[in-house]
């Protein structure tokens, strides 16, 4: 399935001030990497955010947020954020910031 280029453009604008982020097409979507780690991705019409295992359960209780699961086994620490939860630029930036805080703690690849 094709990913939302509109959402990808919004993500790229939100990440514009972070020169360490690299974009890469992958698995039918667009991934954004920081220091070698996937930070966020655009998959179909949604945002995949890598927020880490400590923030995972709380995020799943938020509206329009689900476990990221494309294989039948959810990826703990990764959430799928529906378009309704990232409708505004502030909402999108908030999810990107959550992912940024987690990935910042990981060692560089």
The CATH number of residue 83's host domain is 3.90.1150.30
Distance CA 56, CA 46 (A): 17
Secondary structure letter of residue 108 according to DSSP: P
Give domain status of residue 54, yes or no: yes
Work out the angle at residue 87's Cα, subtended by the Cα atoms of residues 1 and 48, and round it to the nearest 5 degrees.
45
Looking at the structure of the chain, the number of domains it has is: 1
Check residue 70 and report its DSSP letter. Answer: S
pLDDT band at 71 (very low <50, low <70, confident <90, very high): confident
Asked if residue 1 has pLDDT above 70, the reply is: no
- Tally the C-alpha atoms within 13 A of residue 4's C-alpha that lie toward its C-beta: 18
Q: What is the pLDDT of residues 4-50, one digit of tens each?
A: 999 999 999 999 989 899 999 988 899 999 999 999 999 999 999 99
Above 80 in pLDDT, residue 92? Answer: yes
What is the distance between the alpha carbons of residues 18 and 67, in angstroms, rounded to a whole number? 27
Stated as kind and residue range, the H or E segment containing 24 is strand 21-26
Q: Residue 58 domain-assigned? A: yes
109 domain-assigned: no
**CA-angle at 75, arms to 71 and 80, nearest 5°:** 90
> What are the beta bridge partners of residue 67?
79
Question: Does some domain include residue 21?
Answer: yes
Q: What is the pLDDT at residue 79?
A: 98
Host domain of residue 63: 5-104
Q: Assess if residue 41 is contained within a domain.
A: yes
In the predicted model, what is the mean pLDDT of residues 74-100? Answer: 96
């Amino acid at each position: 399935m094709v990913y939302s280029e509109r959402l990808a453009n919004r993500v790229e604008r939100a990440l514009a001030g972070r020169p360490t982020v690299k974009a890469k097409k992958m698995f039918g979507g667009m991934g954004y990497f920081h220091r070698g780690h996937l930070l966020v991705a655009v998959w179909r019409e949604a945002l995949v955010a890598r927020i880490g295992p400590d923030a995972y359960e709380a995020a799943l209780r938020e509206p329009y947020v689900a476990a990221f699961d494309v294989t039948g086994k959810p990826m703990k620490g990764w959430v799928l954020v529906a378009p309704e939860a990232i409708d505004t630029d502030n909402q999108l930036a908030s999810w990107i910031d959550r992912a940024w805080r987690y990935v910042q703690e990981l060692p560089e690849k």
